[in-house]
Amino acid sequence: MNVATLIFWPVVAVTLAGAAGAAFARNLVYAALSLGASLVGMAGLYFFLQAEYVAVIQMIVYVGGILILILFGVMFSRDILGTSTEPSIGSRILGGLASLATLAAMGRIAWNIAGTESLGLRAQRIPTADWVGQISSTSASHLGDLLMGPWLAPFLVVAVLLTVVLVAALGLVRKDAQ
């Protein structure tokens, strides 16, 4: 067991615990903060997956942006302590069943994969489309090439979308909108 593995499991634990806090904590500020912990943990996992650029973006956008937005939302919803929005028992049962079904379905897939991996089939390399070329690096510059290459059209569309979202969000909250 090397050092990396020693760090890996605590990161997983933080991610999981944070997510659990986001889902269960009654106090919404705690929920938002533990969501933050989970997001940071996720960024750590991206490092383990050798997706450094994604990890950085995760930190900047999710932790730096979205989390702040959510905290802002929590502040201004009147029910920070979650006392007046106690979930009903029915919705708890429904939520439990739905999340168990989700866990069962996705866990089963992971289980199957764990089975094949324990047979020595780990880290399979599947030869894929030819137009990707020979580059296998996932460096930021390579991601930039991809964004400006095959992903150019979606990239532009997202740019337009973000502009539209900006305007739409402003329109929704402008003063005279009733």
User: Which positions from 21 through 40 interact with another protein, judged by CB under 8 A?
Assistant: 22-24, 28, 31-32, 35, 38-39
Footprint (CB under 8 A) of another protein, residues 98-137: 98-114, 117, 122-129, 131-132, 135-137
- Work out whether 4 is an interface residue with another protein (CB under 8 A): yes
Kindly list the distances between the CA atom of residue 75 and the CA atoms of 6, 20, 109, in Å, as whole numbers in the listed order: 37, 21, 39
Site for another protein (CB under 8 A): how many residues? 107
- Cα–Cα distance measured from residue 108 to residue 111, given in angstroms and rounded to the nearest whole number: 5
Residue 47 exposure: Cα atoms within 13 Å on the Cβ side: 14
Q: Enumerate long-range contacts of 133-139, CB under 8 Å, 24 or more apart.
A: 138/50, 138/51, 138/52, 138/53, 139/53
- Work out whether 169 is an interface residue with another protein (CB under 8 A): yes
Please, what is the minimum distance in Å from the beta carbon of residue 47 to another protein?
5
Footprint (CB under 8 A) of another protein, residues 41-100: 42, 45-51, 53-54, 57-58, 61-62, 65-66, 69-70, 72-74, 76-79, 82, 84-87, 91-92, 94-100
Element (H, E) at 18: helix 3-24
- Work out whether 10 is an interface residue with another protein (CB under 8 A): no
